Amino acid sequence: MTTKAAITGVGMSQIGRRTERPAMAHLVEATKRALDCAGLSKDDIDGIATYPGKADNSPGMSPLGTGEVRNALGLQTRWHSAIPDGPSQMAPIMVAAMAVATGQARHVLCFRALTESSSQTASRRASIAGAGKARLGGWLSYLVPANAMSASNWAGWMAMRYFHEFGMTREHLGMVATGERAFAQLNPMAVMQSPLTMDDYLAARMISSPLGLFDCDVPIDGACVVIVSAADAAKDCAREPLIIEAMGAALGSQETWDQRTDLTTMGAHDSCTDMWKRTDMKPSDVDVLSLYDGFSIFVPYWLEAFGFCGHGEAKDFIAEGNIGPGGRFPVNTGGGQLSGGRLHGFGLLHEACTQLWGEAGDRQVANARTAVCGMGGGFIAGSMLLRRA
Amino acid sequence: MRPLPELTAENTAFWTGGSEGKLMIAFCKDCAAAIHPPQLVCPKCWCEMIDSRAVVGTGTVYSYTVNHQPWAPEMAVPFALAVVDLDDAPGVRVTAEVVNVDPETVTMGQRMRVSFLNLGDIWLPQWEPAI
């Protein structure tokens, strides 16, 4: 049951660390590249969507909302939406797909812009949940006051439980990190280009056990734009439309990082199960995998959630060489967020599209026709299956 | 100064029970389900009669992590965070800092008991080894 939506263009700014460029400059660059990619012009864009919308609670995490971008780009839209509370960072892509499928818009500009690298100072660190607030509500209020301030803590206790139940070791996560670095060295856009050996990985300082420095993704400055188009409108675009075959957004547990009955699974398991119910395709049909790697441990969770291997089998699946360069199920071929930089899932989707268009240069996966993209960790999850027509 | 929870009708019993040394957990008066984080309605049966009562304050480590990164300028590291299955509130976990112990000695399945850290109008649960 194919959706009526397709991805027709992607664009990424020259991402980097401490670029000192305004977020809007990154966004304009990414937008122009995405429109060039799609063969569309400014006036073709009639929708705009983002995650999460303008937010000031964590430095540089989301400096731009849809309003500022509409103003700056002079867009006249028939649909706009900023979604902080949807199925992961993928929510704007999903909402855009629904908007074009219901005729609310034809071509929706979906964007993610971050200046976490430039915005970070000694006293204002990026990615601290609830930073700057005196009082917290919701799920954060059960974690941050307990000094569980960072997602690395939350992912850390997930990983510790997974290690305990299934015998995974730091070396397995090291294979994820070094494999993604090997891909990054084939991607001129990736921010981390120096070699990363297993010894380097194991020697790096611990952040929140069992997760060390190279298990954590890299804060960057940059922007990424994805154009979602109605399937009928997509036929007029410059590149072959990439059909959104299926999306999954189910969530079967509470909005918490500690109450899910089995923390060796996460929201991804629900969203992926839901996604596969909406298509006749199977994991064995997939050529390219873009899996959220805000922390390395999310990669084995996503592998199992999508069904590329069974529960508890990811460590062997990884050790057998399936996910790195030359593997049968290559993961995060642009370097992922661990080595490419944290574009909150948008960079991963950008890479999946680049692969499906056959434009991934030295890291191109031969005859790539189908990709999965999974965004989010913990209770946050969105799944997508993309295919060439 | 770490951020504190906002007190609400749902959570006041949980965050202030420590003033009497009690770990207060919400239970449904109808179906008896333990509800955490606390709610004004039972998520299982939608009964709106919710009773917060003291549990024994002991449990077993379901998972943990040792944090080494000082996320805030005044944060002393390392310290352990434990996700603890409560003994007498089925399905409920309380995640808290582990105190009065070498953080590197925290293990899976370790028995813990609650104590409290008072900050303003909030009593934060903390875990320490039960023995």
Which residues of A touch chain B, with CB atoms under 8 Å apart? 122-123, 125, 128, 130, 133-137, 139, 141-150, 152-153, 156-161, 164, 205-211, 254, 256, 258-259, 261, 263
Asked if residue A71 belongs to a domain, the reply is: yes
Planar angle of CA A363, A365, A371, nearest 5 degrees: 120
Asked if residue A300 belongs to a domain, the reply is: yes
What rounded mean pLDDT belongs to chain A? Answer: 96
Asked if residue A55 belongs to a domain, the reply is: yes
Partners of B81 on chain A (C-beta within 8 Å) are 146-148, 153, 156-157
Q: Which residues contact B113 (CB under 8 A, 6 or more apart)?
A: B57, B58, B127, B128, B129, B130
Cα–Cα dist A118/A121, whole Å: 8
Considering CB atoms only, which of A144, A208, A258 is closest to B67?
A208
Q: What's the gap in Å between the CA of B63 and the closest CA on chain A?
A: 5
Quote the tokens at residue A319.
Answer: 């050790």
- What pLDDT sits at residue A1? 62
- What pLDDT sits at residue A384? 98
Q: What's the gap in Å between the CA of B13 and the closest CA on chain A?
A: 14
Residue of A nearest to B62 (CA): A161
- What pLDDT sits at residue A125? 65
- What pLDDT sits at residue B120? 95
User: Using the beta-carbon criterion (under 8 Å), do A135 and B96 form an inter-chain contact?
Assistant: no
Q: Using a pLDDT cut of 70, give the percent of chain B over it.
A: 100
Q: What is the CATH number of the domain that holds A41?
A: 3.40.47.10
Which of A370, A389, A40, A380 lies closest to A226, judged by CA?
A40
Q: Which residue type does B42 have?
A: C
Which of A160, A251, A266 to mutate: most B Cβ within 10 Å? A160
Confidence band (pLDDT; 50, 70, 90) for B2?
confident
| In chain B, domain spans | 12-129
Q: Which residues contact A254 (CB under 8 A, 6 or more apart)?
A: A139, A260, A379, B37
pLDDT, mean of each 10-residue run, chain A (389 residues): 92 95 97 98 98 88 96 98 96 98 98 92 64 84 96 98 98 98 98 98 98 97 98 95 98 96 98 98 98 98 98 98 97 98 97 98 98 98 97
Q: Which residues contact A12 (CB under 8 A, 6 or more apart)?
A: A30, A33, A189, A222, A223, A224, A225, A343, A347, A350
Q: Three-state DSSP class for A254?
A: coil
Q: Three-state DSSP class for A14?
A: coil
Which of A262, A294, A303, A320 lies closest to A377, judged by CA?
A294
Query: What is the domain count for chain A?
Result: 1
- What pLDDT sits at residue B131? 77
* Domain with A107 in it: 5-120+149-388
Helix axis angle for A267-276 and A298-305, nearest 10°, is: 30
Asked if residue A318 belongs to a domain, the reply is: yes
What rounded mean pLDDT belongs to chain B? Answer: 97
Asked if residue A67 belongs to a domain, the reply is: yes
Q: Is B4 on the interface with A (CB under 8 A)?
A: yes
CA distances from A161 to A48, A81, A312, B84 (A): 40, 37, 11, 12
Question: pLDDT tens digits, residue range A74-123?
Answer: 999 999 999 999 999 999 999 999 999 999 999 999 999 999 999 876 55
Q: What's the gap in Å between the CA of A353 and the closest CA on chain B?
A: 36
Considering CB atoms only, which of A148, A206, A263 is closest to B68?
A206
Asked if residue A135 belongs to a domain, the reply is: no
Does the pTM surpass 0.95? The reply is yes
Residue of B nearest to A124 (CA): B72
CA dihedral A226, A228, A231, A232 (to 10 degrees): -100
Q: Is B74 on the interface with A (CB under 8 A)?
A: no
Q: What's the gap in Å between the CA of B131 and the closest CA on chain A?
A: 22
Partners of B79 on chain A (C-beta within 8 Å) are 147
Which of B8, B71, B128 to mutate: most A Cβ within 10 Å? B71
Partners of A164 on chain B (C-beta within 8 Å) are 63, 108
Q: Three-state DSSP class for B6?
A: coil
User: Using the beta-carbon criterion (under 8 Å), do B3 and A146 form an inter-chain contact?
Assistant: no
Q: Is B107 on the interface with A (CB under 8 A)?
A: no
Partners of A134 on chain B (C-beta within 8 Å) are 3-4
Asked if residue A127 belongs to a domain, the reply is: no
Q: Is B114 on the interface with A (CB under 8 A)?
A: no
Residue of B nearest to A122 (CA): B73
A-B Cβ pairs (cutoff 8 Å, strict)? 117
Q: What's the gap in Å between the CA of A135 and the closest CA on chain B?
A: 5
Question: pLDDT tens digits, residue range B26-67?
Answer: 999 999 999 999 999 999 999 999 999 999 999 999 999 999
Residue of B nearest to A208 (CA): B67
- What pLDDT sits at residue B69? 97
Partners of A148 on chain B (C-beta within 8 Å) are 67, 81, 95, 97
Question: pLDDT tens digits, residue range B67-77?
Answer: 999 998 889 99
Question: pLDDT tens digits, residue range A112-166?
Answer: 999 999 987 655 666 667 666 779 999 999 999 999 999 999 999 999 999 999 9
Question: pLDDT tens digits, residue range B95-106?
Answer: 999 999 999 999
Give backbone dihedrals phi and psi of A54, rounded to 5 degrees, phi first: -60, 130
Considering CB atoms only, which of B3, B69, B125 is closest to A136?
B3
Asked if residue A54 belongs to a domain, the reply is: yes
